[in-house]
Structure 1
Amino acid sequence: MREFVLIALFCCSVCCSNETDNAGNPNNAIQDSNSSLAPDFTLLSTDFKQVSLSHYRGQIVLLDFWATWCKSCQEEIPIFIDLYDQYQDQGFEMVGISIDSERLKVVNPFIKKLGVNYTILLGEPDLMDKYNIVAIPTAVLIDQSGKIRKMFIGAQLEKPIYENELKKLL
């Protein structure tokens, strides 16, 4: 648990400053992946269901690692809501993974307030290691065969950044 708190504090200091314009932030990056298979996991959702990544095989998935206390994460969520609204009928799934240590106590009121319309899971510290997450927000784009195609490190505050990569897989 101590490791998880330290990782969360580091992530906060790297990506969750009080800046609202992250366009020039050198911590933001879009990385091509070596197309390795995304590590499977099973996590508890905010509606108390066990959800596995393998459940989404055959669909394009965007995993968003985030926290309620991360300002940049908060700024990205409306983009993800829009993407999910627009592409869910075309084989796209949006899945948020909260790394909040207080879990449901803070996550449920937060997602209700923002009107989050996609699945939110409660992350475990080892999952960040499996995905090599070094900062939040980080989003991982996974293709229909379960391979990681892109990693978006830091806030990407323009919908077309995600949309262009998503359309390549549709």
Structure 2
Amino acid sequence: MYKKITLGLLITAFIVGISFSKGVKPYNFSLKDENGKVITLESLKGNVVYLVFWTTTCGSCKEELPVVNRLYKKYKDKGVKFYAVVLDTKDLREIKKVKEDLNIQIPVLIGNRYVKSKYRVYGVPVTYILRKDLSIGKILYGTNDEKYLESLIQKFLKEKRDG
């Protein structure tokens, strides 16, 4: 019985922790992109930031990334910075091949275990949409409906919060 109560409390604490994270500033990463340029989260301030965490072997990610790519094409020049943070490889040839296979142009950041831990990525895909002041607007798990994602982007673009 105590095991069930303990497990229940742990699950509740995890869920409450996730819901309270909305509006909080996430970890200020410093990651290289696929071209070797270092990108920091802080450098993206003033934009809505769309981060999708993925792996090259994830079937759901291969469904989600083309959806995000369509949004990228539509909003990349309208105040939204998109990054696909890959977590299972640093091999640029492998990343390039997956991008070609999926026909996506989203810039890729090379993630690591530390960022994976800080962003609580326990499965993929995981999406963080950050407000212009870089606070967490929404965290989404799994694949998502394109219209819903676009409605979130539009909502955060309209906000006056820019830090």
TM-score by length of 2: 0.80
Instruction: Point out the more displaced range, 108-117 or 128-137.
Output: 108-117
Gaps of 5+ in 2: 1-17, 158-163
Q: 1:54 matched to which residue of 2?
A: 42
Query: Is the counterpart of residue 160 in structure 1 residue 147 in structure 2?
Result: yes
Which runs of at least 4 in structure 1 moved beyond 3 Å after TM superposition?
Answer: 30-33
Partner Cα distance (1:32, 1:107) in 2: 34
TM-score by length of 1: 0.76
SS at match of 1:132: coil
Identify the structure with bigger relative contact order (alpha carbons < 8 Å, sequence gap 6+): 1
1:118 to partner: Cα distance: 2.2
The sequence identity of aligned pairs, in percent, is: 26
Query: Is the counterpart of residue 97 in structure 1 residue 85 in structure 2?
Result: yes
How many residues align? The count is: 140
1:102 to partner: Cα distance: 5.1
Partner Cα distance (2:55, 2:99) in 1: 11
Deviations, residues 50-95 of structure 1 (Å, cap 9, x unaligned):
1111111100011000011001000111111110111122201110
Calculate the aligned-residue CA RMSD, in Å.
1.7
Q: 2:133 matched to which residue of 1?
A: 145
In 2, are the aligned partners of 1:31 and 1:150 still within 8 Å (CA)?
A: no
Aligned residue among 18, 25, 32 for 1:37? 25
Q: 1:119 matched to which residue of 2?
A: 107
Query: Is the counterpart of residue 87 in structure 1 residue 84 in structure 2?
Result: no
Gaps of 5+ in 1: 1-29
Instruction: Point out the more displaced range, 55-64 or 32-41.
Output: 32-41
Query: Is the counterpart of residue 169 in structure 1 residue 149 in structure 2?
Result: no
Partner Cα distance (1:102, 1:124) in 2: 9
Partner Cα distance (2:53, 2:22) in 1: 20
Amino acid at match of 2:34: T
1:40 to partner: Cα distance: 0.7
- Give 1 or 2 for the bigger CA radius of gyration: 2
Q: Provide closer, same or farther for how the CA distance between residues 143 and 73 of structure 1 changes in structure 2, counting only shifts above 3 A.
A: same
